[in-house]
Amino acid sequence: MIYAENVLFCIAVPFAISLLFTKGSARRFISSFLMGMIICILSAYITGFLKSFSGFNTEDASIFLSPMIEECMKLLSILCYVYVLELSDENIQLSAVGVGVGFATFENCCFILLSGVPQFTYVMVRGASVGVMHIVTLVALAKGMQLLKAYKACSLAGIVGVWSLSVTVHGLYNLLVSKPGVSSYIGYVMPMIGAIILYLINCKSED
Amino acid sequence: MSNLTLVEILLTIFQSGVLVFIIANTVPLVHGSKSYFLPFFFALSMASCLLSNFYWIAYDILRPDSRMPIACNEIGECAMILLLSAGLDSVLKDKKIAIGEVVFAILFTCANIAAWIAWSGEWFQDILFGIPYAYFIWLLIRGLKSRGCLTRKELWFSSVTAVFVLVMQIPLLIVKGSLFEFTKIVFFVVIFAMMGWFGIKSFLSKDFFVASAFFLWTELAMFLTSGVFYYIVFAANVLVLPLLFISMKKELADDLC
């Protein structure tokens, strides 16, 4: 059995060392990537604890609990970037993408190592759906926070509102892919559509 | 899948259509108006409600006739109430804190939460997601009072009726037989009469606070009813949304004048 902590250590150390030799945006991206992996493992710990505390089975915990916990942890990282580090809009988005990629990479690594060698098509679908979904929700969170800042509406209601959007999208994805058939296909396509929409919004706001 | 679940899915799809229309018409108001807070929060609130609806539809189709445990859509509903509150807060001018109003809002919310817990047994989410209602109710009372949307008598009447409906929950949980049936009839008559009154009031005044009070009443009534009555209240809840949108637009127009 390979422990998730060992996987984290194995992937994180080279990245941590690379921080010594990088500067600017590259360093910011790598540190966010590391942050994403740490958030992923912390979310797994909390979900595991709440699962045993609430008595949910594994499927129910992944459908109902993990979206809330994971999105909550992601929101905390974004709040840290916005309020503690007070980054510019451009850097908030860069950091959000880094956290998303780190989260998705670590989750996918653990999944592949734990489930042996699954079918190539399944691995592809997983990479293009759940991997993208973490980036989409984080970019959406970052965009939402930027919007709140732009409209000077950074209140509790605004933050909870933005968070609720990412939680519901994540929860909807987990719910749809939990059953085989048409619903799972819709679920698998959803993150990619979200990514395209966010990309178009990004292009428009840059113009 | 039971027929009632099918009705619920159809109503939720219809509500989602209404929400898409409202969001599409609210977004241009965010860019086009000087007081962008209200349309901004309103659009975000409706978006939360829409995503929550999508979750409900998916859940009803994939797990029909099973009770949903704590789930993401509850965060969406909670966010919707908080965002509507933020919208109300942005247009409320008199924010004087009167102890009586605050106490009423808190006690009324606590009583509602107690009723939900007695009915569902879900302590954690009922308490957590019930708390924003206290703030929403306080804002409504403050707004209705300070803006003079309702007369003093009407405010007392609506408060007493709301409390009466809650108190009726106790005999509904305890008594059986013909007394239960009688209490049930009185309970539904009061709920629907109040709904009709709020409906007429909000249609005539087109005030954002009255429409929000109507919306709140349908939300609370949805929590307190089941079966066919639940679907009637749900249909009323769908009808409130365009009224909320119209009153929000009127609020913006008044603000510009």
**pLDDT tens digit string along A152-172?**
777 888 888 888 889 999 999
* pLDDT tens, position by position, A58-80: 888 888 889 999 999 999 999 99
Across B133-153, average pLDDT: 89
Residues of B in contact with A136 (CB under 8 A): none
Question: B85: exposed, middle or buried (C-beta count within 10 Å: 0-12, 13-18, 19+)?
Answer: buried
pLDDT of residue B91: 85
pLDDT at A7: 87
Amino acid at B255: D
Asked if A161's CB is within 8 angstroms of B45's CB, the reply is: yes
B39 vs B30: CA distance, rounded Å: 5
What is the distance in angstroms between the Cα of A83 and the nearest Cα belonging to chain B?
21
Average pLDDT over chain B reads: 87
pLDDT at A1: 63
Q: What percent of chain A has pLDDT over 70?
A: 98
Using the beta-carbon criterion (under 8 Å), do A172 and B55 form an inter-chain contact? yes
Please answer yes or no on whether B72 and A171 come within 8 Å at the CB atom. Answer: yes
| A157 contacts in chain B (CB < 8 Å) | 41, 79, 82-83, 85-86
Contact with chain B for residue A183, Cβ under 8 A: yes
Q: How high is the pLDDT of residue B107?
A: 92
- The predicted pLDDT at position A151 comes to 76
Question: Over B152-179, what HEC string results?
Answer: HHHHHHHHHHHHHHHHCHHHHHHCCCHH
Task: Please give the full DSSP string across B49-117, using - where no structure is assigned.
Answer: HHHHHHHHHHHHHHSTT----S-HHHHHHHHHHHHHHHHHHHH-------HHHHHHHHHHHHHHHHHHH
CB contacts of B55 in chain A (<8 Å) are 168, 171-172, 175
Partner B contacted by A154 (CB < 8 A):
no
Q: Tokens 């009723």, residue?
A: B115
Interface touch B58/A67, C-beta < 8 Å: no
Distance in angstroms (rounded) separating the CA atoms of residues A113 and B102: 55
Enumerate the domain spans of chain B.
3-256
pLDDT in tens, B99-142: 888 999 999 999 889 888 888 778 888 888 888 899 999 999 99
Interface A:B, Cβ pairs < 8 A: 93
pTM: 0.88
When the pLDDT of each residue in chain A is averaged and rounded to a whole number, the result is 88
Cβ neighbours around B6 below 10 Å, total: 13
Contact across the interface for A183 and B61, Cβ inside 8 Å:
yes
Query: For A141-153, how does the pLDDT look when each residue is reduced to its tens digit (9 = 90+)?
Result: 998 888 888 877 7
Asked if A163 and B79 count as a contact pair (C-beta separation under 8 A), the reply is yes
Structure tokens that stand for A49 in this block: 């604890």
Q: Please, which residues 85-124 of chain A have a Cβ atom closer than 8 Å to chain B?
A: none
Tokens 């968070």 found at? A163
A132 has a chain B CB within 8 A of its CB: no
Does the pLDDT at position B238 exceed 60? yes
pLDDT of residue A117: 65
pLDDT band at A15; cut points 50, 70, 90:
very high
